[in-house]
Amino acid sequence: MAGFEVRMCNSQKGKGLFATKEFLPGDVILEEEPLVSCQFAHNAAYRYLACDHCMRPLETPEQNVRRLSAKQDIILPHSNCFETDLLNITSCNQCGILYCSQECKEISYATYHRSLCYIQSEVLHPISVLVETWKQIHYPPETTNIMLVVRLLAYIQQHDDPALAAENVKQFCHRTINEDAELVHKLLGEKFSDQLNTLREMTANVIRGEYIDEFLTPEGFSSLMALVGTNGQGIGTSPLALWVNSVSQLTMSDDERQQLDVFIDKIYQYVEEESGQFLNTEGSGLYQLQSACNHSCAPNAESSFPYGNHRIQLKAIRHIKPGDEIHISYLDDCTLQRSRHSRQRELSENYLFVCCCERCMSQSSEPDCTSDEEMSDDDLDD
């Protein structure tokens, strides 16, 4: 028994994910592979090597730390537990794209890569042109990658039942044309209409077909871009974070633990001094079940990537009873702690809805903004 179901909500939210059994804090509600996922274009350009399919980093924690800190003499204790992850690295026989395993290579080829395989050094190839154009339009920090759209179209084209695959994609797209345009405007900026048309034409140069041409019309393409902009789940993988998590589970004396904690703090200090804010291997993916989770400012579940790849895990953080809707937060932890006004503004601007969760409703009598936030906003304007 799965323990959950997707059904229509009794509100304007559309679909929602509901519990059909009890979940206690810490219980895993679901795990899911994405329909498609993709590393961010700038993240790849910064030489964050990752499996082209599952986004597992293709460097050891020690290599990761040495690169980020620019200190080639750093030696991580207990680092050998991750060496085996890199023994199965393979590549596409035609284009040389790297994968963490033969399994990822085969899944990628069967799902979308067969339609998109090309020699990476061909700078005038339609995919190279599209990616470079995207990078000029969408500077870091990225929130999606145009290749997520391209892979979605290739998924439809290569599916055993393309008509069914196209319908699955359409289930994600449930907003109006005006809402799509407003979301894409947020994603691409002031000149979004011209940029959107350029991206659409370039995407059509990469891939076309009977069941995907409807997504290459102005309305269809706008809908896809809005889809990846709002339903695209951010993915972050880090060899260093996986190593820290792994060594924290090891049995050792209190003195050893204290020495290790000091060492880890020093590592993060080196990374911050050299690379600024620590950057993971980052990208986004489309998840059919997880994307059905609606937002709450007092969520009862959270998503994570415990396997160091794109497989997502949804875990309960509060008691969930049968019949309860399962909510996650679309906001980061910092924004989630701010006033109702600030949270509502963020959600309205980025997701086009006014939050009516229990927390927001209980705070409806609060002023429109707190004095601290008002001061902060004024300072920014100055």
Task: Give the mean pLDDT of 128-144.
Answer: 88
Q: Report residue 109 CA to chain centroid gap.
A: 21
Q: Quote the mean pLDDT of the chain.
A: 86
Task: Give the mean pLDDT of 273-301.
Answer: 86
Judged on CB neighbours under 10 Å (0-12, 13-18, 19+), 51 is buried
Q: Answer yes or no: are the C-beta atoms of 35 and 149 closer than 8 Å.
A: no
For residue 3 the two structure tokens come to 């323990």
pLDDT tens per residue across span 300-359: 999 999 888 999 999 999 999 999 999 998 887 788 888 888 888 887 776 767 788 888
- Please tell me which of 153-157, 269-273, 292-296 the model is most confident about, judged by mean pLDDT: 153-157
Using the 8-state DSSP alphabet, how is residue 331 labeled?
A: S
Amino acid at 185: H
pLDDT tens per residue across span 202-218: 999 999 999 999 999 99
Judged on CB neighbours under 10 Å (0-12, 13-18, 19+), 170 is middle
For residue 210, which of 166, 258, 264, 179 has the smallest C-alpha distance?
Answer: 166
Q: State how far the Cα of 225 lies from the Cα of 172, in Å rounded to an integer.
A: 11
Positive or negative, the Cα torsion across 278, 186, 156, 134? negative
Task: Give the mean pLDDT of 357-366.
Answer: 84
The answer for residues whose C-beta is within 8 angstroms of residue 254's C-beta and 6 or more apart is none
Q: Which residue has the higher pLDDT, 129 or 249?
A: 129
pLDDT tens per residue across span 53-70: 999 999 888 888 898 888
Q: Which residue has the higher pLDDT, 83 or 304?
A: 304
The confidence band for 371, taking pLDDT boundaries of 50, 70 and 90, is: very low
**Beta-sheet pairing, 294-295 with 28-32:** unpaired
What pLDDT is stored for residue 154 in this prediction? 98
What pLDDT is stored for residue 361 in this prediction? 86
Using the 8-state DSSP alphabet, how is residue 81 labeled?
A: G
The answer for residues whose C-beta is within 8 angstroms of residue 237's C-beta and 6 or more apart is 50, 55, 56, 57, 280, 281, 305, 308, 309, 310
Q: State how far the Cα of 78 lies from the Cα of 251, in Å rounded to an integer.
A: 12
pTM of the prediction? Answer: 0.83
What pLDDT is stored for residue 67 in this prediction? 86
Q: State how far the Cα of 38 lies from the Cα of 147, in Å rounded to an integer.
A: 7
Q: What percent of the chain has pLDDT over 90?
A: 48
